[in-house]
Structure 1
């Protein structure tokens, strides 16, 4: 442990030690997504007082704790990952029932968002036991904060996480995103980022921001049209390395012309929505997404539920 983390542990005790940390509670704790210095003082203190630590990969988390100058006895670990979450959750519930403080940490970032943890939290709550968040690093909010993905008339964002590894399901998901007016955050691994880029190319000139290796030494943030992402990756082999957070920007919500809406009104009683929108866009030169929203409005449907 470096002298800087010794100082951090001392600061953690002074800054967070006087707060209340109930026993018999699960602490859902965010860990750094690449930069160890992103660990919070509160997280350091909670890790130091925990009776047990549940995590995706005990070896990974052991290495993290050693780097921070923390040690945990062999009996203080619970392996809890996507393949055993239901069974391991019951071990956590038993520890909590005995009055222990249990921390759950995924390999990186905030648990129970894309990583395991949601089933654990549900099991603990069902047992009538307390869950305490210890917030911190998240690739989702980190990517959004540097994407500049803003539109005056777009509200909020959608977390899409990892799309399916199956080509057909991935293509269907991207097609659904074509009609999503809000920003969308997607996550991807290095061995599948090329396939995601190819799938997103159908969205044409809609902007996206690629966040690669966020918070790490070789961090890269680049904004480009969806159709350019595959070429951008291919131009440099290093660009396909590391973990990715991709922000699909809100599409500019152009208003359909009166002619476009009038044509839609004639087509919708006879045709499916997508077919009517395609024909109206081709005939009037209108923006397909704007016409799609207009079609849902004309049919009395909620665009947010489509």
Structure 2
């Protein structure tokens, strides 16, 4: 338990210290966020706020993870997946912010990177770590072997999680705070399945996000950008895969799922009927346009994320996961 506390504290401290060093540097380089014209008007004032702040989170995650988990293979794989997605996000941010190409990386370029991450994660976890190709079904408490379909599942988990976290990153502190809660839940899940090194990785992730909130909470001095959101999604997905709790991730990351579903529902409704279900998607903008302040939306979503985490841990306890 002491190791977990030290890890979280170190990650938090690194993020706090790195902020005043990295934020001015990004500002000097003019790595400022562009605000989409169709977004809420109150967001226009955020234009020019430094982005790519995910660099702070990644730095604060790597150092304590390696220091307290050592060269544990599962932690190294989780870091590889996190850094891989962080690199994809960084390239996307760089193209949009520095090269002024609004679309960033092409869809097929992102897809190629995510396929590489999914293949590496599924192959190494499945073959070298003995994770296998089975899927645990919570509540029922048994596993089903997916065979070759397992590799498709891992790809969908990675793509779904990274994009869902990316969509959630639309208000000051929203994605960082929600990820903090999810990471702490996965620290408990990792300990439950006898993976203390992954628990160290998870509390480092939580500490890094919490430290980042010092500069990302309203009014944000820096945004995480795709550099951060894709890395956070990759980190959560990697831990879910290595603990065989891909289904449980849907509940732990319930806020991310709701954000992604709101976009899907909005697109389907508008294309099929010409009508919008929400005033704007992702759904956090719907509440903004309904009169909620940004801080109220973020606080309610954080609490909702906490509720989902508690429910997920409750399901874990009831299921007993005897077969894993």
TM bucket normalised to smaller: under 0.3
Structure with bigger strand share is 1
Higher relative contact order (CA 8 A, sep 6+): 2
Structure number with higher helix proportion? 2
Q: What is the TM-score of this pair, normalised by structure 1?
A: 0.25
Which has the higher Rg, Structure 1 or Structure 2? 1
TM-score (norm 2): 0.24
